[in-house]
A and B are shown apart, each in its own frame.
Chain A
Amino acid sequence: MSKITNILIAGVGGQGILLASEILSEIALRLGLDVKKSEVHGMAQRGGSVVSHVRIGEKVFSPLIAQGASDFLLSFEKMETLRWQGLIGPQTVSIINDTRIVPTNVNVGIDSYPEDLDAYFQQNMKKYFLVDASQLATEAGTIKATNVVLIGSLARLMHYDKQIWLDVIQEKVPPKTVAVNTKAFELGYNAVAQ
C-alpha cells in the first residue's frame, strides 16, 4: 500500500477545528487523492475536547489513525496536544498553539492544569513548533482567525502547493473575511521554518 499521510487535529470545542479539517480534506480532493476524515460532534461543541483525524493517500480505508501513526499534529491548545498521545509518535511533526484554555473543572479546583508542558514537549517530541496563533490572528485583524494562522503553519510543513491552500481557504471562509484570513494564513505560514 502506498504511503498515507495522517494528520491529527486537536483542541477545544468552538475553536474552529472542524473548519481546519474541512480545508485539508478539500485540498486532498482537489489533488485527486482519496481522503477520509473523522470527528465526533455533539457534546464536544460545549467546551469539551475535540479531535479530528484526516487521512490522505491513493486509497484510504480506515477513517481513524492507528497508534503512534500521526505524521502531523495540529494542536489548538497546549494541554490538548497530549490528550490523544497514543496516536502521536516520536516522529510526529507538531504545531502547537501557544495558548492555555483552562477547563472549568480546573477553575473550580477539582483538577489542576499541568505546568511542565514545555519541558515535556522538549523531551518527547522530535520536531514541534510553538506558534502564538492568537497573537498573530489579532495582528491579522481578528482573534477569530486563530485557526487559519495554524492552518498556515501546517501548510508550510506539508508538501502541497501553497496556492491550493489559499484557494480553498478563500472559498470556505465568509466572503467579508477573505482579506483578514489571507493575512492570517501568511502570518502562520511564516511563523514556522521548514
Chain B
Amino acid sequence: MTQTTVEYAEKVLLSGNEAIAMAAVDAGVKLASGYPGTPSTEILENLAKYRAVYCEWAPNEKVALEVCIGASFAGARALSTMKHVGLNVAADPLFTAAYTGVRGGLVVICADDPGMHSSQNEQDNRHYGPAAKVLILEPSDSDEAYHFTRMAFDLSEEFDIPVIVRTTTRVNHGKGVVHRAAPLDLSGRHCSLEVNPQKYVMIPAFARARHVVLEETLNKLRLHAAESELNRTDMKNDRSVGVITSGASYQYVMEVIPENWSVLKLGMIHPLSDDVLSRFCSSVERVIVVEELDPYIETAVKALGFKCDGKNLFGLQGELNPDLVAKGFGIPSSSTTIPAKALPPRPPVLCPGCPHRGTFTVLKKLKTFVSGDIGCYTLGVNKPLDGIHACVCMGASLGMAHGMGHVLSGAEKKKVVAVIGDSTFLHTGINSLINMVYNKSTGTVFILDNRTTAMTGQQENPGYGTTLMGEATNNVDMVALCRAVGVEHVYKGNPFDTVKLHELAKREIERDELSVVIVEKECVLAFREIIEEPLTIDALKCIGCKACLKVGCPALVWDGAGKKVTVDITLCTGCDVCVPECPVDAFIVPEKKNRGEV
C-alpha cells in the first residue's frame, strides 16, 4: 500500500496492528524501530508499506527503544514496537527515558499475551506504569487502537513523557471497523539537535532534578486523567452495581452486562485517577473489577478504601471471554452446546523441510541435554524429537549451558549443549558467547542459522540480506563474528546431511574446549528456492518399521492398512533428513538441482 493521496475520515476494516500502523502515519511519525514478537509483529510490517516512515528491525528491543529515544531527542515522533517480554529487554532505557522526557513524541507499543497463545509467560505489563513512571494507555479494539495511538503522541509531547500503548493479543490480531481521522501534517517540523545536558544527560546530579520534574508530571497527568475522555463513565439510574474495566475485557463486559449496571471504562492505565475511581465507587453500591491477569485496577480501588470484587470472581490466569465474564457476574448461561468428544491435540510442528529437524535428529542420537532458546526450533521439544530440555527467554540458552557446565562434571557436563537460532543469537545470545569465551567455558554451542526470524513470520534480521524497507544490505558473517569474540573452534554443518553433521557434532561435543557449530540452511518458508523434488518410498522395500517417522516430518504418512509409510508429495520438500533413518534404503531420492555443499 503506497500512500499517495490522503483520504480523510474513512471507515476501514483493520486489525489492531494495522490500525496502530495507520495511526503512526497519521500522527506524523518519522521513525519506527522494533523487534518482531507475536502479537506485535505486523505493526512495523504494515508501517513499512507506507514508505512515509523510516522503519527498521533492530537486533533486540533495547536497541530499538534506544534508536527511538535518539530520534525523539532530535525532535521527531518515534514509535517502538515489541511484545510483553520484549519490554523486559528494553526496560533499562525505558526507566531513564522517563527521567529525560522526550522532544518528539515517543510511543512504545507493548503487546501482552494473556493466555500465552505464543509466549513463554503471561506477564502483565501494566505494572511497568508505576515501575517505570511512564504513561500507559490501553485500547479495547481496532478503532481505539487507532485513536489511542494518535493521542499517545500528543500526550507524550504535551507532558514530556514516554507513553506505552499496552495492547493484548485480541486487540492486536482482532479486526474491526476503524474510523480514520484527518492526518496531522508535521512536514513543517524540522529535526535539529538540542544541547540541554540538564535534561538529556542523566548523571546523578541532573537525574535528581529530573526525578522531581517527573513526579510533578505524573501529578499533572493524574489531574488530566480525571478529565480525560480516555476514561469513560456510563452511569445508570439504578445504582446497585458498577463495573470497572479496560482493554479487551471491556468488550466482554458490554456483551453480557445487565442493562441496569453502570460501567467505568479506563483508557488511561497509568497514572490512574484516584478521583475518577473514587467518584465511581462511591456512587454505586457494589463494585466489580473485570480485568485480565493481575489485580492491577482492583488493588488501586482497594487502596482507596473501597470494597470490590475482582480476582475472586475471575482468577489470575489467562484470557477472559464473554462466558467467563458472565459466569463471574453470576449470570447463568442459557446456551446449550453439543456434547463433548475427546480429540487428539494438534500442536504446531516443525514444517516439512525445516532445517532444524536434522539438527534435532542428530542431537537426539547423541543423547545430549539441550539448553534451548526461543524460536521455531523450540517446537523441537515436542514428540517425537523431544529435543529441548530447558528454555527460559530470548538469548538465555548459552548462559544457562555455561552455568550448567560449571557445576556439572564428567559425562553429565559433556551432555550439555546450547542451541540457539541466528536471530536470537544476534538478539542477546552474542553477549553470552563473549562470556563463555572470557570465563573459559568448554561447552558446545549450536547456532541454527536459517537466515531469518522464522517463528514470527520470516522477518529480516542482520543475517538476512535485506532491510525491512526492502533494501539490500550487509550480512553478518557468523563464522567471522564467533572468531572475532575469541572462539577458536568454529565449524559449519549442513542439517540436511545428518550423517556428516552427526560426525561433526560428536567430535565437537567430545572436545574439551569451547566450540561453535553453525548449522546453516535457509528457512524453507522464507526461501522457497531450497525446495527440491519430493521423495517417494518403494512400497516393496518398506518393511513398516517406522524408523523414518522418528524425524517427525508431517510429509511422512503412516498407512495403517498397508503397514507402510508413504510420502505426501504435496508437502515433502526433498530435504533428505529422513533418508538415512531407513534401515532398508526404501526411499527413492530424485537428483538434487540446487543443493550446494556447505
- Tell me the smallest distance from the CB of A164 to a CB of chain B, in Å: 14
A156 contacts partner chain B, Cβ-Cβ < 8 Å:
no
Q: Which residues of A contact B342 (CB under 8 A)?
A: 114
A63 contacts partner chain B, Cβ-Cβ < 8 Å:
yes
Determine the distance from Cα of A23 to Cα of B333 in the docked complex, in whole angstroms.
31
Q: Mark B4-26, 1 if CB is under 8 A from A, else 0.
A: 00000001110000000000000
Question: Do residues A41 and B39 form an inter-chain contact, with CB atoms below 8 A?
Answer: yes
B170 contacts partner chain A, Cβ-Cβ < 8 Å:
yes
Q: Which residues of B contact A141 (CB under 8 A)?
A: none
Known: A40-B173, A47-B349, A107-B558. A114 touches B341 (CB 8 A): yes
Interface residues of B in 341-356 (CB under 8 A from A): 341-351
Question: Do residues B347 and A48 form an inter-chain contact, with CB atoms below 8 A?
Answer: yes
Question: Do residues A63 and B343 form an inter-chain contact, with CB atoms below 8 A?
Answer: no
Question: Do residues A68 and B336 form an inter-chain contact, with CB atoms below 8 A?
Answer: yes
Determine the distance from Cα of A139 to Cα of B68 in the docked complex, in whole angstroms.
53
- Tell me the smallest distance from the CB of A35 to a CB of chain B, in Å: 7
Q: Which residues of A contact B255 (CB under 8 A)?
A: 61-62, 66
Known: A46-B351, A85-B338. A104 touches B554 (CB 8 A): yes
Question: Do residues B383 and A105 form an inter-chain contact, with CB atoms below 8 A?
Answer: yes
Determine the distance from Cα of A34 to Cα of B347 in the docked complex, in whole angstroms.
33
Interface residues of A in 95-120 (CB under 8 A from B): 102-114, 120
Determine the distance from Cα of A69 to Cα of B348 in the docked complex, in whole angstroms.
27
Q: Which residues of A contact B141 (CB under 8 A)?
A: 36, 63
Question: Do residues A61 and B251 form an inter-chain contact, with CB atoms below 8 A?
Answer: yes
Determine the distance from Cα of A64 to Cα of B553 in the docked complex, in whole angstroms.
33
- Tell me the smallest distance from the CB of A140 to a CB of chain B, in Å: 17
Q: Which residues of A contact B326 (CB under 8 A)?
A: 66
Stretch at the interface among A86-94, A147-155, A174-182, A184-192: A86-94
Interface size class, chain A: 35 or more
B117 contacts partner chain A, Cβ-Cβ < 8 Å:
yes
Question: Do residues B322 and A87 form an inter-chain contact, with CB atoms below 8 A?
Answer: no
Known: A40-B169, A90-B336, A105-B383. A63 touches B341 (CB 8 A): no
- Tell me the smallest distance from the CB of B504 to a CB of chain A, in Å: 27
Q: Which residues of A contact B344 (CB under 8 A)?
A: 79, 103, 105-106, 111-114
Determine the distance from Cα of A173 to Cα of B141 in the docked complex, in whole angstroms.
27
Question: Do residues A88 and B13 form an inter-chain contact, with CB atoms below 8 A?
Answer: no
B556 contacts partner chain A, Cβ-Cβ < 8 Å:
yes
A43 contacts partner chain B, Cβ-Cβ < 8 Å:
yes
Q: Mark B165-208, 1 if CB is under 8 A from A, else 0.
A: 00001100111110000000000000000000000000000000
Determine the distance from Cα of A24 to Cα of B167 in the docked complex, in whole angstroms.
25
Determine the distance from Cα of A67 to Cα of B345 in the docked complex, in whole angstroms.
21
B436 contacts partner chain A, Cβ-Cβ < 8 Å:
no
Known: A35-B177, A36-B175, A61-B255. A88 touches B346 (CB 8 A): no
B549 contacts partner chain A, Cβ-Cβ < 8 Å:
yes
B28 contacts partner chain A, Cβ-Cβ < 8 Å:
no
Interface size class, chain B: 35 or more
Determine the distance from Cα of A48 to Cα of B177 in the docked complex, in whole angstroms.
28
- Tell me the smallest distance from the CB of B119 to a CB of chain A, in Å: 9
Q: Which residues of B contact A104 (CB under 8 A)?
A: 349, 552-554
Known: A66-B322, A103-B346. A87 touches B337 (CB 8 A): yes
Q: Which residues of B contact A66 (CB under 8 A)?
A: 255-256, 321-323, 326, 335
Question: Do residues A39 and B338 form an inter-chain contact, with CB atoms below 8 A?
Answer: no
Determine the distance from Cα of A12 to Cα of B349 in the docked complex, in whole angstroms.
12
Known: A62-B254, A62-B321. A67 touches B333 (CB 8 A): yes
Determine the distance from Cα of A107 to Cα of B349 in the docked complex, in whole angstroms.
12
Determine the distance from Cα of A39 to Cα of B38 in the docked complex, in whole angstroms.
12
Interface residues of A in 44-89 (CB under 8 A from B): 44-49, 60-64, 66-69, 79-80, 82-83, 85-89
Question: Do residues B176 and A47 form an inter-chain contact, with CB atoms below 8 A?
Answer: no
Question: Do residues A26 and B13 form an inter-chain contact, with CB atoms below 8 A?
Answer: yes
- Tell me the smallest distance from the CB of B520 to a CB of chain A, in Å: 21
Determine the distance from Cα of A113 to Cα of B346 in the docked complex, in whole angstroms.
11
Question: Do residues B546 and A103 form an inter-chain contact, with CB atoms below 8 A?
Answer: no
A38 contacts partner chain B, Cβ-Cβ < 8 Å:
yes
Known: A40-B173, A88-B338, A108-B383. A61 touches B254 (CB 8 A): yes
B550 contacts partner chain A, Cβ-Cβ < 8 Å:
yes
Q: Which residues of B contact A68 (CB under 8 A)?
A: 335-337
Question: Do residues B173 and A41 form an inter-chain contact, with CB atoms below 8 A?
Answer: yes
Q: Which residue of B lies closest to A113 (CB)?
A: B344
Determine the distance from Cα of A111 to Cα of B346 in the docked complex, in whole angstroms.
10
Q: Which residues of A contact B12 (CB under 8 A)?
A: 29
- Tell me the smallest distance from the CB of B445 to a CB of chain A, in Å: 25
Determine the distance from Cα of A60 to Cα of B333 in the docked complex, in whole angstroms.
19
Determine the distance from Cα of A85 to Cα of B342 in the docked complex, in whole angstroms.
10
Determine the distance from Cα of A37 to Cα of B379 in the docked complex, in whole angstroms.
28
Question: Do residues A38 and B346 form an inter-chain contact, with CB atoms below 8 A?
Answer: no
Q: Mark B283-294, 1 if CB is under 8 A from A, else 0.
A: 000000000000
B339 contacts partner chain A, Cβ-Cβ < 8 Å:
yes
Q: Which residue of B lies closest to A32 (CB)?
A: B11
Question: Do residues A120 and B341 form an inter-chain contact, with CB atoms below 8 A?
Answer: yes
* Residue among A13, A67, A110 with max Cβ neighbours from chain B (10 Å): A67
Q: Which residues of B contact A46 (CB under 8 A)?
A: 348-351, 376, 379
Determine the distance from Cα of A22 to Cα of B254 in the docked complex, in whole angstroms.
24
Q: Which residues of B contact A48 (CB under 8 A)?
A: 346-349
B457 contacts partner chain A, Cβ-Cβ < 8 Å:
yes
Q: Which residues of B contact A25 (CB under 8 A)?
A: 13, 175
Question: Do residues A63 and B383 form an inter-chain contact, with CB atoms below 8 A?
Answer: no
Q: Which residues of A contact B382 (CB under 8 A)?
A: 105
Question: Do residues A43 and B118 form an inter-chain contact, with CB atoms below 8 A?
Answer: yes
Q: Which residues of B contact A49 (CB under 8 A)?
A: 345-346
- Tell me the smallest distance from the CB of B13 to a CB of chain A, in Å: 5
Question: Do residues B337 and A62 form an inter-chain contact, with CB atoms below 8 A?
Answer: no
Q: Which residues of B contact A110 (CB under 8 A)?
A: 383-384
A135 contacts partner chain B, Cβ-Cβ < 8 Å:
no
Contact of A83 among B174, B346, B349 (CB under 8 A): B346
Interface residues of B in 250-281 (CB under 8 A from A): 250-252, 254-256
Q: Which residues of B contact A86 (CB under 8 A)?
A: 337, 340
Question: Do residues B337 and A85 form an inter-chain contact, with CB atoms below 8 A?
Answer: yes
- Tell me the smallest distance from the CB of B221 to a CB of chain A, in Å: 29
Question: Do residues A80 and B351 form an inter-chain contact, with CB atoms below 8 A?
Answer: no
Determine the distance from Cα of A33 to Cα of B558 in the docked complex, in whole angstroms.
47
Pick 21 A–B contacts, CB within 8 A, sort by A: A22-B175, A34-B176, A36-B141, A38-B170, A40-B39, A40-B173, A42-B38, A47-B554, A48-B348, A61-B251, A61-B254, A64-B321, A68-B335, A82-B341, A85-B341, A88-B337, A92-B338, A107-B556, A107-B557, A111-B345, A114-B344
Task: Beyond A42-B118, A47-B554, A89-B337, list 11 extra A-B contacts (CB 8 Å).
Answer: A29-B177, A41-B38, A43-B379, A61-B251, A62-B254, A62-B322, A66-B255, A88-B337, A109-B546, A111-B345, A124-B339
State the 4 A-B residue pairs at the shortest beta-carbon distance, nearest first.
Answer: A42-B118, A111-B344, A68-B335, A48-B348
